[in-house]
Amino acid sequence: MTQQSATITYAKVVPCDRSISKINDLTSILNIDNAVAAKDLHATVVYSRSEVIGLDLIEIVRPLEATPVAFDLFDNGGKKCLVIKLKSDDLDMLHWMTREMGASYDYIDYHPHITVSYDYNREPPADEVLDTIGIIRFNEFRLEPFDEYYGT
């Protein structure tokens, strides 16, 4: 479970199989360009430019829950990422727990989301279709090496 770079700490949560299936069904129905593979769907908890010791000791009550609230486009080095923005007290709490343990963060606010395409060339779909997913449940917390080229 614990694999991280000596200088970067990257932590994410992974949706349960049922949530992954619902997200994949929606991206298929919407014919999302360059959809992220099921095995790669996740929500980033923290990307810290400093090593944080002890994150693997965090005990989370599973499953963590999040409500999909909107589609949005994020810049990805000249490409657009299509994300599902999430509202989640669980993810907010986990993010702030990592910060209290010493994780750095490059942004003013934490915006939990799941990237569904790293190279999306259209307008975002209507947010109303997110109702078909329902609550997204995350059942795994992972620390991983950060791949700065992932999604490019």
- Would you state the pLDDT for residue 35? 96
Supply the pLDDT for residue 57: 75
Please name which of 138, 141, 142 lies closest in space to residue 66, comparing C-alpha atoms: 138
* pLDDT score at 81: 95
Residues of the chain below pLDDT 70: 1-7, 145-152
pTM reported for the whole predicted model: 0.87
Residue 32, SS3 per DSSP:
coil
**What pLDDT shows up at residue 2?**
42
Helices and strands, number each (H, E), in the chain: 2, 6
Q: What is the pLDDT of residue 19?
A: 98
The dihedral through the CA atoms of 17, 18, 24, 27 has a sign that is negative
Residue 5, pLDDT score: 44
pLDDT at 31: 96
Give me the pLDDT at residue 1, please. Answer: 41
- Mapping DSSP onto H, E and C, the string for the chain reads CECCCCCCEEEEEEECHHHHHHHHHHHHHCCCCCECCHHHCCEEEEEECCCCCCHHHCCCCCCEEEEEEEEEEEEECCEEEEEEEEECHHHHHHHHHHHHCCCCCCCCCCCCEEEEECCCCCCCCCHHHHHHCCCEEEEEEEEECCCCCCCC
Tens of pLDDT, residues 111-137: 999 999 999 999 999 999 999 999 999
